[in-house]
Amino acid sequence: MRSCRSMANSIVLVGFLAVLIVPARSAELAAKTAILVHGAFADGSSWQKVIPILVKAGLKVIAVQNPLDSLENDVAFTKRAIKEAEGPVVLVGHSWAGVVITEAGNDGKVRSLVYVAAYAPDTGESLRDVVSKYPASEARKSFLQDDEGYLRLSDEGVAKYFAPDLPSSDQRLIGAVQGRYHVRTFTSPVSRAAWRERPTFSVVSTKDLIIAPQLQRDQVKAAKARAIEVAGSHVVMLSHPQQVADHIIRAAK
């Protein structure tokens, strides 16, 4: 009887090997869900190349669609995603979303943080406080502001500064789907920096023309983050998705 049961189990394992590999790998992960938060001039599609890799590794994935109109609202949208997610959560932010996850990452379900070519302000700091310590980026001249205070990138700005290492077809897509980003976000301070209390990981984009690589490296030191450096543009998750996804998976472990 025991041998028959053993044989039946073997048949199931052989027949469903591709399915069973995923639970085996996901069992190694401390986090169950990766929540991906997009930055300014972007939307959730900026994670499109990373998501399949994370799912294959056994993570559930939520890509937040933030309004980009204030820190308060972006944090609220992110916290809503954290609330509905199966925990523990690895919380990932790109660019401006580094500010968002620095605030939202204080949620008890968040196991670790990943900054992808992102800002990581300290307690009491705003985005303006962070960038004021470094030379102004030439990319700022490509920001177009409407009469309500919303910013967008010009087509030239996308191609020259934001995503210069992507094909022109991808650059046009980024330009078409970009979110409008309000200037009030620059002055909103973080109430408590989550990276001071959470394991922190960072992807430093060494060819970034939006956020200076030195700024990113200085943040790595301040947060004592486990970092990798990738020779990519500001949208490194689109130009080097495997390396970015691998680092998120490390954080999930």
Are 41 and 150 in contact by the 8 Å Cβ rule? The answer is: no
**Which pLDDT value is given to residue 28?**
85
pLDDT digits (tens, 9 = 90+) for 13-44: 333 333 333 333 455 889 999 999 999 999 99
pLDDT digits (tens, 9 = 90+) for 81-111: 999 999 999 999 999 999 999 999 999 999 9
**Which pLDDT value is given to residue 131?**
95
Exposure string over 40-62, b if 16+ CB within 10 A, otherwise e? bbbbbebbebbbebbeebbbebb
Domain 31-252 has CATH 3.40.50.1820: yes
pLDDT digits (tens, 9 = 90+) for 157-203: 999 999 999 999 999 999 999 999 999 999 999 999 999 999 999 99
pLDDT digits (tens, 9 = 90+) for 38-80: 999 999 999 999 999 999 999 999 999 999 999 999 999 999 9
**Which pLDDT value is given to residue 128?**
95
Is pTM beyond 0.75 here? Answer: yes
